[in-house]
Structure 1
Amino acid sequence: MRIPLSWLKSHVDLPESLTPQEIAASLVSLGVEVDELRALDDVTGPLVIGRVVRIEELTEFKKPIRYCQVDVGDNDEEDDDGNVVPPETRGIICGATNFDEGDLVVVALPGAVLPGGFEITARKTYGRTSNGMICSVRELGLGEDHTGILVLPSGEASPGDDAGPLLGLDDTVLDLEITTDRGYAMSIRGLARELACKYGTTLMDPAALSVPGAEGDAHGVHIEDQLGCPRFVARRVTGLDPTSPTPWFMRRRLMLAGIRSISLAVDVTNYVMLETGQPMHSFDTSSIKGNLVVRKANPGEKLSTLDDAERSLDPDDIVICDDTGPISLAGVMGGASTEVRPDSTDILLEAAVWDPRSISRTVRRHKLPSEASKRFERSVDPALPPFAAERAAQLLREHGEARIQPGRTDVGRPELPGSVIMAIDLPDRVAGINYARGVTAHRLSQIGCHVEVTTTDAGRPAVLVVPPTWRPDLTRPADLVEEVLRLEGYDTIPSVLPTAPAGRGLTPVQRRRRAVSRTLADAGYVEVTPSPFVSSAAWDAFGLDAEDIRRRTMKVLNPLDAERAELTTTLLPGLLEMLARNVSRGARDVSLFYIGQVFLPRAEPVPMPTVSVDHRPTDDEIAALNAGLPQQPVHVAVVLAGNRERAGWWGKGEPATWADAVQAARDVAAAAGVDLTVQAGDLLPWHPGRCAELRVGGWPVGHAGELHPKVVEALGLPRRTCAMELDLDALPIVRRRPAPAVSPYPPVLLDVALVVDVSVPVAEVAATLRSGGGDLLEDVQLFDVYTGEQIGEGKRSLAYSLRFRAADRTLTVEEATTAKEAAVAVLADRFGATLR
């Protein structure tokens, strides 16, 4: 949320000596996050008001180009005879088309420097000399609107006037982040009240209006969904002059808040929303057919919204309807059929209160966030709609010559905050200090609470607090304590560190996880954190059968993204999505890893118990909650594409292969202190001929290899993308690892080439060599694989390097040869291997 500081200061009497930085620091101390504090004085040099005298359309170019003669008040003198010399005009090239001859514009003359260090000079372009620049809102640093240049209202200034005071370039814009529990702060009114409490000054409440009673009915309204719409207020104005411009002070404030000016009727509703915190909508009354009804959408209904999109409505959506059907998506966006047009003179102003949860679901479902929905999601003051509607109607009367019709529709009964009893010394006990007498009642009264001093059931002094209508978050004593401490200042609470008890260190599971993470990072993988949510389309891309167990997922009732409403059963979808995103942004050699939980539903659903929050759950309740949760084992997965060894002056790069994915699994097993067995596997999304099944103790714990080409194509991945996923929780915990025995004696190195059937796994050949070689065989490494006519069909040659060493003596070649022959004999007996 962005607001100009001058607007905020107009509603609260702050000390003149306060700097913008001090005001921002005060807001931070009150719990309002300030993302940015931006001064508008970063424009230097001549910036003046100009009047467009003549426009020449340059039609020889592909895009609209205009050569404008602009009066900037350079020469407005009398000659010797007393005649006024016509002012000189400056020729300026401009590509915008949203202005006409006679309009007032802002001109940066040569020598001016605009935000971002953009220096203005006279230069020749498009065959003309451009002697300055006509500026847009974004070029002036006043906002993000760059659809056209800034056109000023006539009568606001004269050509040649300094544009700085009119634009308010001495102002400062605050960019704020408002938490979800403090919707009242998304307004000038709410923030001004916070600062008034901070400094003990006067609040000029923009909603402090004299509002007439709800006499008559401006437009018949019936609420069918009372939960979705607790209150609906309508106020009607007629005779609006559709040509009335939005006053400059309003346009400027909206512009600095990031809202584009559209028309007086629309601008007024946006202005009142920012000022009071009450979102509003304006209907063209003549377009409404019959009375209004607030209800849930019916199945199959559609609505064309103001963004020219036809939306299929969900039965959970709240809509405003007339006799023709839905005309507005409540709290989110209006419909095109009742839009206020440039010639609309009869306006129906709507100010309502909507259920925050319903609005939140609708926004996510339709991917349609708006300034109004942001406020409704955080809750809106249920007492505010009549005042906001009256404020908007008065502004239209004042600036658009509208007539406010007698009577006001006000239907619905919103739920008001209930009372809370709190021990009067509870804030003192929580903070650990003794506040001055009366601080608790004073601070709660400042924020709008009605406070009465009473006693608790135990006879202790207490306060009976009725929160204001704009603070629905104050529901328990802890909330009231927070308000007292917040306004007194968290910095006044003493910081006393308790003595840290002796810890027991990391658990074996934590140590293993850290070891695996460090090992993969050392191997060149980059750790990422993908989303745990997936869509069913991911399983289709993986080519999984309808009965595949991985398709059986847990669905989220209120997902952040309606298209990704399932909790993943494997880490690969999220990792592969991040791999594709990195490749799309120019990365070519990518190696990623992630250690995280997957979510496996139980075979039989277990109902979740309802647990009260007014006491600690019992052991039985905790056990029932845990029984209803899905299994959440921790997996580790890697994905890699491109070169595993990058190219450079040292030579060509080495592309990543299935062997690298298998090696990542071996590295994980080594870090976990377990022995990993690798054998041929077949599981999508891996390539059936390049997939390895990973086993520990005879149990499968994961797979590694190259992905199936169809999967690679479906996900838009690089060719030969590889992946590995392993169930880390399935690995046994190794609590004690024996220290390695290092022999001081030299090794004997021997090579052996064996011919075996191609069906014999390489891993089993190596394991047989190790067992057959006995204690003297220290290491086995495969260094060559050969197939060809010399070997024979269905055969392959495997060449191994064997390292023999004795722990207590220098090993002789004869002893090593005997051990090698024993190992080869075991291979010959088990697999029919022969020496090559």
Structure 2
Amino acid sequence: MRISEHWLREWVDFPGSTEELAHRLTMAGLEVDAIEPAAPAFEGVVVGEIAACEPHPEADRLSVCRVVAGDGDPLQVVCGAPNARVGLKAPFARVGATLPDGTRIERATLRGTASEGMLCSARELGLSEDAAGLMALPPSAPAGADLREYLALDDTVIELELTPNRADCLGMAGVAREVGVLAGREPVWPGVEAVPPRCDAQFPVTLEAPAECPRYTGRVIRDVDTSAETPVWMRERLRRAGVRPLSITVDITNYVMLELGQPMHAFDLERLEQGIRVRSATKGERLALLNGQTVELEPGTLVIADAAGPVAMAGIMGGEPTAVTEATRHVFLEAAFFAPAAIAGRARAYGLHTDSSHRFERGVDPERAAVAVERATRLLVGIAGGDPGPTVVTERAEQVPVAPAVSFRPGRCTALLGAAIPHETMRGILERLGMAVAAGAEAWTVTPPSWRFDIAREVDLIEEIARIHGYDALPLSRTPAPLAMPAQPEAHLPLRRLRRLLVDRGYQEAITYSFVAPELQASLDPEAETLPLANPLSADLAVMRSSLWPGLVRALQHNRNRQAGRVRLFESGLAFRGRLENLEQAPRVAGIAAGQRHPEHWDAPRTPLDFFDVKGDVEALLALTGEPERYRFEPAAHPALHPGQSARVRHADGHAGWVGALHPEVLRRLDLDGPVFVFELDLGRITAARVPAFREISRYPAIRRDLAVVLPEAVSAAELRATVVASAGEALRELILFDVYRGKGVADGFKSLAIGLILQDSSRTLTDSDVDAVVARVVERLRAELQAELRE
């Protein structure tokens, strides 16, 4: 919200400086995001009037003008603007003037003709981007007047960054009300007296969706001169608010919106058929919008329609066929109250964002529509003429929202703020904010005004008192609180330990959105039942994530697009599965890795990352539990993973996660160079750790025996390990797999695994017969259960 300080001070007499005003607004919750001048610096520019205009004798596109710039003889100026004409008043930079870009105007000769000054466009003065011709000033502008003084350009624009609950300040009236409360001054409201009708013309309105639009105010104004020019003061106020002037009717409706916070629209009455119907769109209906876009309306979208079909998207944008043009004679002004829930998200669903939708989806005062129509009527009739009919309010009163009364305890306010604010001060603040206060012995009954949708609880009223009294005026104190020493169970592995380990192994932590694009999620987790958002920020953030992979994949794409070749990222967070009524929120930790195994180094080979590198990272995480043997990796198919490079992580109690390479088809759809490896683990399965316990270290030597066994390809190393551990007994201290061989000497369908057995006893030195007995048991068990044979 951009506001002109001059305009604001016309409404309320704030005694302080611009900086003090900005500070008070920020401390009151209306954050000032920027303060900037209303116009760039220039000097020596006055109002000039073209008294004569003739073609340049040596250039077809130039004119030789005689410009009256106050006292003295007219000055000769060579001008190239196409709209230069006798009688036009425009900014004139005298010789010696300085323009915003630093250009100093000097006497010049153009194509043999002397020029004593420069006629200016709005762009040359930094007032807009319009460079199509000279900036036209009103005929009443006094020639020779300083342009900065005439347009009151020595103004400041204050930009407010409003929170969504303060829609009441999306108009000058709301901001002035707040400043008046802060300064203890009463705002001076503009004249909004009712304009008496001059004719009986009316246009019928029917509310077919009263829950979404319970009140609709309309007024017919006949014989309007829609070609009338918008006054310069109004154009300037629109410009400073960031709104481009277009035509008299559009400018007036925009001006009233900026002034009162009530969006409005004007229809060409002769293009409307039979009557207005406020209803929901039906399937297949289309509407050509004012921005040139034609949209197919979704069923349920609230529209303004006539007998022929939709003429506007309610609360968002009007339609092109019924727009007011210079040929329009009769105008139908409308202002309505639309329920925020009926407008919220609708504009974004069509790729739109308008000033109207921005206000309606946050909440507009339901009592302001008739006032806005009267204000717009007075401005339109006063500038463009016309005969207004009566103002007609069509409503379903039972559907119009009524602010609920809120119970307020002054003692509770004192306790929460830690400040003894007098009760009279509290009551004065609430009443100056427009609230009705009925005081009781212990509690007050406070009724918020119609424009404050955000007041619903006692704490909301306490917040109002705190911000108006001044957060910086509250005393500083330390809140007494008992120190609680939370339990740190040794059998629980904290998330921070997992995160530190991944950082130590070269990963960087990422934090991504919990909502993702539906098509990306379908590529990476097609079997999940996802939860769609009712009001998504965008189409790319429309569903809750069922896995952490989509966010990490987007982060990888972002880094790859910026020439990052070696990427290691991890994230911890919630994954969401199921519908709202049975939503499962599972804590997960996931990672993604691509590129070279090691950072580039002169003494290290450039070896691409492979499946076992990432599997090793997962194994390191599982080893933190102290019971890595409770986990195993099983070859398994996952829709998003490479069929030959994917594994399910199993826990003794069930499924614990996945690790593998992304499927080539997924890489193709995501336009990623492979291979890319991912993992995801269920934190609930990997945070239960074994409590460390003392175990005596043997003083006797360890003995190693190596075995090479030939097994069927279907037998995994995990099965081999489990069989050896089960048969070796307590003497086995460590089992090492140090070689895998396929080839000459090993039959097809078989493989050779070489293992090392580390044997040790805590009470004596093992003899050869002891070791031979262990090896014999292991070989026999392998032969019986896994069809393994010693390799010769």
TM-score range (shorter-chain normalised) is: 0.7 to 0.9
Give the letter for the 1:242 counterpart.
Answer: T
Distance of aligned partners of 1:796 and 1:422 in 2 relative to their CA distance in 1, 3 Å threshold: closer
Q: Which residue does the alignment assign to 1:705?
A: 660
Correspondence list, 1:258-407, <5 A:
258-400=242-384, 402-407=385-390
Specify the code of the residue in structure 1 equivalent to 2:8: L
**Residues 228-267 of structure 1 correspond to what in structure 2 (within 5 A)?**
228-267=212-251
Alignment of 1:116-155 (within 5 A): 151-153=135-137, 155=139
| Matching of residue 498 in structure 1 with residue 498 in structure 2 | no
Instruction: Decide whether the 8 Å contact of 2:626 with 2:690 is kept in 1.
Output: no
Q: Deviations over 1:82-101 (max 9, x none)?
A: xx58535488xxxxx9x644
Q: Which amino acid aligns with 1:218?
A: Q
Change (3 A) 1:573 1:543: closer
**Which residue pairs with 2:431 in the alignment?**
445
The one-letter amino acid of 1:36's match is: A
Distance (Å, rounded) in 2 between the aligned partners of 1:663 and 1:835: 28
Question: C-alpha displacement at 1:287, in angstroms?
Answer: 1.0
On the 8 A contact 2:268/2:324 being kept in 1, the answer is yes
Aligned to 1:87: 76
Instruction: Give the Cα separation in 1 of the matches to 2:576 and 2:442.
Output: 50
Identity %: 31
Give the corresponding residue for 2:108.
Answer: none
Could you tell me how far 1:697 is from its partner in structure 2? 2.1
Cα distance, 1:328–1:524 mapped onto 2, change above 3 Å? same
Moved more, 45-54 or 364-373: 45-54
Q: What is the aligned counterpart of 1:410 among 381, 386, 393?
A: 393
1:373 deviates by 1.2
How far 1:195 moved relative to its partner?
A: 0.6
Shift of 1:740: 8.9
Structure 1 SS opposite 2:584: coil
> Against the structure 1 CA distance between its residues 648 and 107, is the aligned structure 2 distance closer, same or farther, given a 3 Å change threshold?
farther
Could you tell me which residue of structure 2 aligns to residue 733 of structure 1?
688
Aligned equivalents of 1:740, 1:717: Cα separation in 2: 50
Return the letter of the residue paired with 1:599: F
AA of the residue aligned to 1:87 = Q
* 2:540 aligned with 1:524: no
**C-alpha separation in 2, matches of 1:439 and 1:426:** 15
| Aligned pairs for 1:160-171 within 5 A | 164-165=148-149, 170-171=154-155
Match for residue 569 of structure 2? 592
* Per-residue deviation, 1:199: 0.7
Question: Per-residue deviation at 1:556?
Answer: 4.4
| Correspondence for 2:589 | 636
Question: Deviations along 1:210-258, whole A, 9 cap, x unmatched?
Answer: 4559995632112222221121111233333333222222222222222
Aligned to 1:81: none
Distance 2:293 2:468 in 1: 46
- Counterpart CA distance in 2 for 1:76 and 1:214 is 43
Aligned partner of 1:431 in structure 2 is 417
The SS at the match of 1:484 is helix
Matched, 1:579 2:561: no
* Cα drift, residue 133 of structure 1: 11
CA shift, 1:4, in A, is: 2.4
Q: Contact conserved, 2:64 with 2:78, CA < 8 A, in 1?
A: yes
Runs of 5+ in structure 1 lacking a partner? 57-65, 79-83, 92-96, 123-127, 606-627
Determine which of 447, 451, 455 is the counterpart of 1:474: 455
SS at 1:363 equivalent: helix
- Match of 1:37, SS state, is strand
Q: What is the deviation of 1:29?
A: 1.6
For residue 25 of structure 2, what is the aligned residue in structure 1? 27
Query: For the residues of structure 1 that align with 2:97 and 2:611, how far apart are their CA atoms?
Result: 62
Q: What is aligned with 2:495?
A: 513
- Secondary structure in structure 2 of the residue aligned to 1:271: helix
CA distance in 2, matches of 1:654, 1:398: 80
Partner AA of 2:470 in structure 1: G
Change beyond 3 A, Cα 1:108–1:328? farther
**TM-score of the aligned structures, taking structure 1 as reference length:** 0.79
The answer to whether the 8 A contact 1:112-1:119 is kept is yes
SS in 2 for 1:294: strand
Deviation at 1:275, TM superposition (A): 0.9
**1:241 aligns to what SS in structure 2?**
coil
Counterpart position of 2:673: 718
1:622 alignment partner in structure 2: none
Aligned to 1:681: 636
Note if contact 1:427-1:440 (Cα within 8 Å) is conserved in structure 2.
no
CA distance in 2 between partners of 1:45 and 1:749 (Å): 94
SS at structure 1 position matched to 2:158: strand
Deviations 1:319-375 (A, max 9, x none): 111111111111111112111224323221111111110011423433322111111
User: Residues 160, 720 of structure 1: CA spacing in aligned structure 2 closer, same or farther, 3 A cutoff?
Assistant: farther
What TM-score do you get using the length of structure 2 for normalisation? 0.83
Asked if the contact 2:120–2:135 (Cα under 8 Å) also holds between the matched residues in 1, the reply is no
Q: Deviations over 1:732-767 (max 9, x none)?
A: 622623479889999999987665444332444456
Contact 2:92/2:117 (8 A) holds in 1:
no
After TM superposition, give the deviation of residue 201 of structure 1 in Å.
Answer: 1.3
Instruction: Determine helix, strand or coil for the equivalent of 1:298.
Output: coil
Amino acid at match of 2:394: V
Q: Which moved more, 1:535-544 or 1:363-372?
A: 535-544
CA distance in 1, matches of 2:578, 2:419: 49
Q: Structure 1 424/76 Cα, relative in aligned 2: closer, same or farther at 3 Å?
A: closer
Q: Distance in 1 between matches of 2:193 and 2:566?
A: 64
Aligned partner of residue 331 in structure 1, secondary structure: coil
Q: Which residue of 2 aligns with 1:611?
A: none
Report if aligned partners of 1:76, 1:87 keep a CA contact under 8 Å in 2.
no
Which residue of structure 2 aligns with residue 670 of structure 1?
623
1:730 deviates by 2.6
Q: 1:692 aligns with which of 644, 647, 651?
A: 647
8 A Cα contact 2:275 2:307, kept in partner:
yes
Q: 1: distance between equivalents of 2:546 and 2:685?
A: 15
Q: Relative to 1, partners in 2 of residues 1:364 and 1:775: Cα closer, same or farther, differing over 3 Å?
A: farther
Does the CA contact (< 8 Å) of 2:576 and 2:586 recur in 1?
yes
Local SS of the residue matching 2:468: helix
SS at match of 1:632: strand
Q: Given residue 666 of structure 1, which amino acid in structure 2 is its aligned partner?
A: E
Give the drift of 1:703: 1.2
CA distance in 1, matches of 2:94, 2:597: 54
* 1:757–1:795 CA contact under 8 A, matched in 2: yes
Distance 1:26 1:745, change over 3 A: farther
Structure 2 partner of 1:209: 193
How many angstroms does 1:165 deviate by? 4.7
Q: Distance in 1 between matches of 2:8 and 2:95?
A: 32
Match of 2:12 in 1: 12
Residue 437 of structure 1 and its aligned partner are, at CA, apart by 4.9
Q: d(CA) in 2 for partners of 1:138 and 1:746?
A: 90
Indicate yes or no: 2:716 matched with 1:761: yes
